[in-house]
A and B are shown apart, each in its own frame.
Chain A
Amino acid sequence: GEDVEQSLFLSVREGDSSVINCTYTDSSSTYLYWYKQEPGAGLQLLTYIFSNMDMKQDQRLTVLLNKKDKHLSLRIADTQTGDSAIYFCAETNDYKLSFGAGTTVTVRA
């Protein structure tokens, strides 16, 4: 939606790090999410971060949040072919949930 923007495509070499960026407009957002959608499948929650946090790390995933700039990023370390998917950024302020258009990540050998 218009409230959440992200780049549409990212191509990365296997083994490299991927960084997917997202910007949002709602300053009252409480939580921000990253979801993964593989072809023909539903959405899978990867991680989420509370708005008063700057960073969250979970194995190969690192989420950075710059609340002042309303910028969220997802870094995937050591990107694998299984990471090829569409990644959605989303934000909620408890009564509204908005998704970005999704970033298609293609991992090349």
Chain B
Amino acid sequence: DSGVTQTPKHLITATGQRVTLRCSPRSGDLSVYWYQQSLDQGLQFLIQYYNGEERAKGNILERFSAQQFPDLHSELNLSSLELGDSALYFCASSVGGTGGIWVGEQFFGPGTRLTVL
């Protein structure tokens, strides 16, 4: 158990819909990272937040957005969903990251499996 929690575990929705994925980092970690893992694209880094502020951006679509709240939990919002958005979405956390992607250890959550029908 990494200490990172993600909800829900599974999510099934229809095209065009909007969903919110939630992540709670490990106690004491200030950075949260979001990743997408799909058969087509492999594992891709989406975005990083450090202590409430966006720090680094990867291959995140404009239809997707994220935020980190004062209690450090983070939400990833996916809108206008398409079939190709079906994937496993991971959240990770780390202690550091103020200067960008933390070069030390990131702790991954178990993921949320999103299925778009």
Residues of A within 8 A of B (CB): 1, 30-31, 41-45, 48, 88, 92, 94-102
User: Is the pair B43, A42 in contact by a Cβ cutoff of 8 Å?
Assistant: no
CB distance from A6 to the nearest CB of B (A): 10
Instruction: Please determine whether A95 and B42 come into contact, CB atoms closer than 8 angstroms.
Output: no
| A97 touching B101, Cβ below 8 Å | yes
- Inter-subunit contact A43/B101 (CB<8 Å): no
Bound-state Cα–Cα, A43 to B100, Å: 20
**Residue of A with least CB distance to B45:** A97
Interface residues in B91-106 (C-beta closer than 8 Å to A): 92, 99-101, 103-106
**Interface size bracket, B side:** 20 to 34
**A residues in contact with B92, CB < 8 Å:** 42-43
- Prevailing SS type, chain B contact patch: loop
Chain B minimum-CB-distance residue to A42: B108
Please, which residues of chain B bring their CB within 8 A of the CB of A96? 45, 56, 58, 101
Is B108 a contact partner of A44 (Cβ separation < 8 A)? yes
Residue in B44, B99, B104, B109 whose beta carbon sits within 8 Å of that of A1 in the complex: B44
B15 in the interface, Cβ–Cβ < 8 Å?
Answer: no
Asked whether A99 lies within 8 Å of B110 as measured between CB atoms, the reply is no
| Cβ contacts under 8 Å, B44 to chain A | 1, 99
| A38 CB, nearest partner CB in chain B, Å | 11
Identify the 8 closest CB pairs spanning chains A and B, nearest first: A42-B108, A94-B100, A99-B43, A97-B45, A43-B108, A31-B103, A95-B100, A101-B42
Residue among B43, B92, B100, B111 with most chain A CB within 10 A: B43
- A92's partner among B2, B41, B103 (CB-CB below 8 A) is B103
Assembled-state Cα–Cα distance A96/B56 (Å): 7
Interface string of B14-26 (1 = CB under 8 A from A): 0000000000000
